[in-house]
Structure 1
Amino acid sequence: MVIDTHSHLDVEEFHNDLPDVIARAKAAGVGKIFIPAVDLPSIEPMMAICQNYPGYAFPMIGLQPEEVKADWQEVLNHMWTFIETDRSSAHPQVIAIGECGLDFYWSREFEQEQLAAFEQQVQWSVSTRLPLMIHCRKAQNELLAILRKYEADLPGGVFHCFTGNQQEAHEFLRMPRFMLGIGGVSTFKSSHLREDLPAAVPLDRIVLETDSPYMAPVPHRGQRNESSFIIEVQKTLAAAYGVSEEEIAQATNENVKCVFGSFIKEF
């Protein structure tokens, strides 16, 4: 069994065949899938999927940085109400705050809003003990500056879709209780991750993800990504680290348990 810690199963690309996608994931050995909300409209369809696949699909709620606009505070207020309601229920479902973070790749138009929205969600993580699912692109220094303010109190989390170099990995992993999320980019011919990860990142700091439907791994590159393709990432990491695929599964599952185990009953 492996765990896909980041898959956008709620998006339009899966509307016509989601049961088949889930069936293929289970057949491939994917034991759990974590699904992030990225804005207010995504919460309802994401929660519906998790309710339809209890014990298999797990919800995360946050405001993705590219969705941060002038109304960010109003959006976060609504999200917080939802999280509070979930946490006060007899059977809370939400396992993480996210997908949240910073993204200055295309524009810094809403830089201050992104910084404020991310810090508020970091504060949620501290108060709820829910781990963070973090998106970071062209903003590592700014993001780590915020996290370090709360370092002693944060429960941990995942730096989603890590594609950086050894130095960037080192800086992220200075944050205790955080993992790097590794996905399909690791299989790309041009990727340096196959060399940099074994050199700088121990196996006890990695989790697997697809970020489906985006960034499908080789040999599916260019296709719609889906959770069953995570096996290609598992194979790639096994070869890179010189261990068996079973050892990759065992190590990454244990890492998921370390971060999310307080909110998931069975592994």
Structure 2
Amino acid sequence: VMGEEGRRSFFDAHSHVHLSCLPPEASSRAPPPPRSSSAAASQPPVLPPIGSSLHRTLGCHGTALMGTRPEDWAILDALLASPRGDPAAAAPLTGGFGLHPWFAHRFVQAPREDVEGVGATAGGWSWLEELEQKLLRHPGAIVAEIGLDKLWCPPETGVNHWEEQIAAFEAQLDLATRLQRPVSLHCVRAQGPMLELLRRRKELPPAIYMHSFGGSAASAQSLYKMKRFGSRFYFGFSSFVNRRSPKTPEVIADIPLDRLLLESDLEDPSSVDEALLDAVDMIAQATGSTSEIVQGATWRNAERFYGLSHGDVDGVATALMHSCWPAVAPMAYTAVEEPPLDEPSLPEPDHADHTDAWPDPHDITGTVVWECSSVLWNMLEDSRMEVNGGAASKTLRGLTEGKRIIELGAGTGLLSVALASAGGAREVLATDLPCHMPQIRANLALNAKRCSDRRRQCGEAIPPAVSSTAALCWGEEEAAATLGHFDTVVACETLHWTGADILAEDTLELLCRTVQQLSCPGTRLLLAYKVRDPGREAKFLDLIGSAGFTLEHELPVDEALRTPSSREAATDMRVKVMVFA
């Protein structure tokens, strides 16, 4: 990713460069005079003078600006509301409004148990009401920067205001949860209390960013492996903060690459370039990756966390969920290859059957084209074109020609499109959780005509297979029984989701039982995954072996079949494609 003047561009997921617009005395300023929330809400934001350094930084890098107190909310409000020219050409700009723990004592004047009074100050003005007004004005903004800090003692008091911090933190968590906004958390010497607080809550915000994470590898695991909420956690690292600790490389290495975020955490825009380059180098060394991989991965992770529109994902043009975090998330439509000039109209979402089954915007397992899917797509395409007439192509043709095929965990429906377009299959059934059905139906409809037209242009007589969809939660025996038995069961990247509220058990056992129920004598299981957790993968292989399946083939994955991003990521994670009978 290149910015203006040929500079490398990064996504700075946690920045304070807007504070360069504040006067020097602002950091020690007392709380603003009392005012009414209605007056604050009615005042249009006024954009302050912006220095050339800040202008260049915001023009080159994707940037998320973090508010810390009402004094800087006004600047952030104006920056986010200001026109930025061509949106397609501008670097992404987003941000968050929140009350930082360093300033909680200035505004929180109520005891912790007085929940409704937490936001009130003298004269009736409420920082919490103003915070909500700012968030409602900017539907894409998150709640940030908030958190806990046991080390900080404000210069004006000389003591740590722990109770006020907790009161402000819990009030803002409640607000973020109610508005369904992600949060960015500051946590210093408070990992234990924060983890305890998060664990005892019945509900959490849709995504949680541990900014400049300073905890141990074990602390990180306790968060991203947390039951129900683990998939919502992201971890940011900055050279400004994290270079100080010798344990940082070990911590970074233990966190999955798709949970890492890059940040500067700086107020001075002139220092951002150097800080981001250093942070990229720090993460690349810790993970054994190249700086290009880290740059691309952290950019995609930031887009996902902030709900920004996606561009090209692994060579497949994709439009995923866009901004705003509404109560009902918009659907994700995927176009394989280039969109045609006259795009066919998409069917309306089917709300009748699953009105409460829309996905959490940050449960991205079903809304992303995973690299393993792209690899398997290429292998299926090669088998169809017979460009590599080896054993792998023959095996894949044997799994599709004349067969009734079901895909489990279809997500975007990419592989079901590939299986149908390969030709020769009798039927392809795409299944996933009910919340993903509108997306899969739309994607199948979007690509059906394109696949047929392309095959006719190539002079191929065999039409694409009939494609259909069905909602299927693994482990639900009655639902699986209505689908019957299949010749080929396809499971791609299904081993690493540990479950959600709809599934009380770990998904490995449920997946195995569902595969077994859909099978009959002669059924083949096509299993594809990227090696991430050898222990978990071995557990599934044991389970499927106990169910009566034996490994028939492990297909070689030709490097030439990978997309560039897949080839790069394979340095750490191998793709496995296996056939069981």
Interval containing the TM-score (normalised by the shorter chain): 0.7 to 0.9
Q: Which amino acid aligns with 2:247?
A: H
1:202 aligns to 2:224 (yes or no): no
Partners of 2:278 and 2:195 lie apart in 1 by 30
Larger radius of gyration: 2
Correspondence for 2:51: 18
Within 5 A, what are the aligned runs for 1:1-267?
A: 1=1, 2-12=10-20, 18-24=51-57, 26-27=59-60, 30=61, 32-52=62-82, 54=84, 56-69=92-105, 71-72=107-108, 73-74=119-120, 75-84=127-136, 86=137, 92-107=138-153, 109-150=160-201, 152-173=203-224, 174=226, 175-185=230-240, 188=243, 191-198=246-253, 200-213=254-267, 225-226=271-272, 229-261=275-307, 264-266=308-310
Partners of 1:213 and 1:147 lie apart in 2 by 29
1:97-125 Cα deviation digits (max 9, x unpaired): 01001111134642122112111111112
The answer as to whether partners of 2:280 and 2:294 remain within 8 angstroms in 1 is yes
CA spacing shift, 1:104–1:158, aligned 2, 3 Å: same
The answer as to whether partners of 1:156 and 1:178 remain within 8 angstroms in 2 is yes
Q: Secondary structure at the match of 1:225?
A: helix
The answer as to whether partners of 1:183 and 1:211 remain within 8 angstroms in 2 is yes
Counting aligned pairs with the same residue, the percent is 22
Correspondence for 1:89: none
Partners of 1:36 and 1:53 lie apart in 2 by 19
CA spacing shift, 1:79–1:182, aligned 2, 3 Å: same
CA spacing shift, 1:230–1:22, aligned 2, 3 Å: farther
Partners of 1:8 and 1:53 lie apart in 2 by 20
The answer as to whether partners of 1:133 and 1:157 remain within 8 angstroms in 2 is yes
Q: Secondary structure at the match of 1:48?
A: helix
Q: Secondary structure at the match of 1:118?
A: helix
Structure 1 alignment gaps of length 5 or more: 87-91, 217-223
TM-score (ref. length: structure 1): 0.81
Q: Secondary structure at the match of 2:261?
A: strand
The answer as to whether partners of 1:178 and 1:259 remain within 8 angstroms in 2 is no
Structure 2 alignment gaps of length 5 or more: 2-9, 24-48, 109-118, 121-126, 154-158, 312-581
In the TM superposition, residue 250 of structure 1 has moved relative to its aligned partner by 2.3
Comparing 60-69 with 159-168, greater Cα deviation is found at 159-168
TM-score (ref. length: structure 2): 0.39
Q: Secondary structure at the match of 2:99?
A: coil
Correspondence for 1:220: none
Comparing 3-12 with 183-192, greater Cα deviation is found at 183-192
The answer as to whether partners of 2:238 and 2:275 remain within 8 angstroms in 1 is no
The answer as to whether partners of 2:105 and 2:164 remain within 8 angstroms in 1 is yes
In the TM superposition, residue 225 of structure 1 has moved relative to its aligned partner by 3.4
CA spacing shift, 1:68–1:176, aligned 2, 3 Å: same
Q: Which amino acid aligns with 1:208?
A: L
Correspondence for 1:219: none
In the TM superposition, residue 189 of structure 1 has moved relative to its aligned partner by 6.9
CA spacing shift, 1:18–1:165, aligned 2, 3 Å: farther
Return structure 1 stretches of 4+ with deviation > 4 angstroms: 13-17, 24-27
Partners of 1:187 and 1:157 lie apart in 2 by 19
More helix per residue: 1 or 2? 1
Q: Which amino acid aligns with 1:59?
A: G
Comparing 245-254 with 10-19, greater Cα deviation is found at 10-19
Partners of 1:82 and 1:23 lie apart in 2 by 26
- For this pair of structures, how many residues does the alignment match? 247
Q: Which one has more relative contact order, counting CA pairs under 8 Å at least 6 apart?
A: 1
Partners of 2:217 and 2:142 lie apart in 1 by 27
The answer as to whether partners of 1:182 and 1:207 remain within 8 angstroms in 2 is yes
Comparing 103-112 with 9-18, greater Cα deviation is found at 9-18
The answer as to whether partners of 2:151 and 2:188 remain within 8 angstroms in 1 is yes
Partners of 1:152 and 1:48 lie apart in 2 by 32
The answer as to whether partners of 2:18 and 2:267 remain within 8 angstroms in 1 is no
Comparing 63-72 with 106-115, greater Cα deviation is found at 106-115
The answer as to whether partners of 2:182 and 2:207 remain within 8 angstroms in 1 is yes
Partners of 1:204 and 1:14 lie apart in 2 by 35
Correspondence for 2:436: none
CA spacing shift, 1:151–1:245, aligned 2, 3 Å: farther
